[in-house]
Structure 1
Amino acid sequence: MTQSEFLNIVMPFKDKLYRLAKRLLISAEEAEDATQEVLLKLWAGKKQMHRYNNVEAFAMTMTKNFCLDRLKSKQSANLKLVHSNYAETGASLQQQVERRNSLEWVERIMEELPEQQRMILQLRDVEAYEYEEIEKLLDMKPTAVRVALSRARKAVREKLLEKHRYGIG
């Protein structure tokens, strides 16, 4: 496989790898390093790439595993979840502040979710993966994915509503 063939296969989904890594790791720099490591591993195994039915799913799994290993390592003491992929123009300053505040709260709430729910929510609602793809990536049964996603969404919704009510019942 030539370099250009490899790039034609990998380039369409490299941003998804980065976003997943950024969701799981501390910063843009950590996510860039993780993405680069995965791409290097893919390049090193380019001769076997034709064996995979879905190279993107394989790369996403590699990214997830690399990031989880990184989080489990001794250096993980100062790693945390950070995500800011959203930018919108044309809104008033008040609306921008409110949206940014809500997004920050959603990120904080997601940090508190169990790891599996957090990853499923990221893959489905941020990355727009299909249920079948998530099932394969996380090696889970269809029902388990849907239940975990439902619980994650419910937890985010309830905590966000609680925050917007300012603790008033």
Structure 2
Amino acid sequence: MNQLQFIAATTPFKDKLFRLAKRLLVSTEEAEDATQEVLVKLWCKNEGLNKFASLEAFAMTIAKNYCLDQLRLKRTTNQRLEHDNYVDQLPAVDKIIEDKDSLDWVDRVINHLPDQQRIIIQMRDVEQYEFDEIAQIMDMNETAIRVALSRARKTIRQNMIKINNYGME
């Protein structure tokens, strides 16, 4: 695979790599570094990339593992949920404040989920990956992915109910 073929093969999912890295590492600079590191690792394996059924899934696996290694090194637990795909049609100010508050609460709840559930939520609900792709990336079976996703969503839902009921008192 020459340089142009490599660029053509990796460009479609480069932003997804960045978003996953940003989800895990929080810092934009660290996410950019992680994305570059993954692309360098892919380039080093250049000749063997054709053997993978899904280059994107392989790259996402490398990105996930790299980011988790970085987190282990730093022992960081400060994760943020970024909503860069959220578009608002200029609602009322009170609605904007209420929505921001809700997103902040969801963000906090997601940040306290176990790493595996947090990654699965990111890939399924934010990045819109299919279950088979997530299973391949996470090296888990689809049933385990569905169970972890269900548990994560249930935890989020229960916490939001508690928060909303607390605010009503």
TM-score by length of 2: 0.91
Go from structure 1 to structure 2 and tell me whether the alpha carbon gap of 1:124 and 1:111 turns closer, same or farther (over 3 Å shift): same
Deviations 1:81-139 (A, max 9, x none): 12322432323232222222211111110111111111111111111111111111111
Q: 1:80 aligns with which of 70, 78, 81?
A: 78
Asked whether the equivalents of residues 27 and 82 of structure 1 are also in contact (C-alpha less than 8 Å), the reply is no
Equivalent residue number for residue 56 of structure 1: 56
Structure 1 stretches of 4+ moved >3 Å: none
Q: Is the 8 A contact 1:17 1:59 kept in 2?
A: yes
Gaps of 5+ in 1: none
Identical-residue share of aligned pairs (%): 48
Query: 89-98 or 56-65, which moves further after superposition?
Result: 89-98
Instruction: Note the C-alpha offset of 1:2.
Output: 2.2
Match of 1:33 in 2: 33
Aligned position for 1:91: 90
Q: CA deviation at 1:166?
A: 2.2
Q: Which amino acid aligns with 2:35?
A: T
CA distance in 1, matches of 2:52, 2:95: 45
CA distance in 2, matches of 1:26, 1:126: 15
Tell me which residue corresponds to 2:151.
Answer: 151
Question: Aligned AA for 2:58?
Answer: F
Bigger mean CA deviation after superposition, 125-134 or 56-65: 125-134
Deviates more, 1:94-103 or 1:31-40: 94-103
Cα offset, 1:36, TM superposition = 0.9
Match of 1:87, as an amino acid?
Y
AA of the residue aligned to 2:79:
L
Match of residue 70 from structure 2: 70
Aligned AA for 2:139? D
Q: How many positions carry a matched residue from both structures?
A: 167
Moved more, 26-35 or 149-158: 26-35
User: In 1, Cα distance between the equivalents of 2:64 and 2:29?
Assistant: 16
Which residue of structure 2 aligns with residue 21 of structure 1? Answer: 21
Name the aligned partner's letter for residue 90 of structure 2: A
CA distance in 2, matches of 1:55, 1:15: 14
Measured in 2, the distance between the counterparts of 1:138 and 1:87 equals: 26
Please tell me whether residue 2 in structure 1 is matched to residue 8 in structure 2.
Answer: no
Partner SS state of residue 166, structure 2: coil
Cα distance in 2 for partners of 1:115, 1:139 equals: 14
Deviation at 1:156, TM superposition (A): 0.4
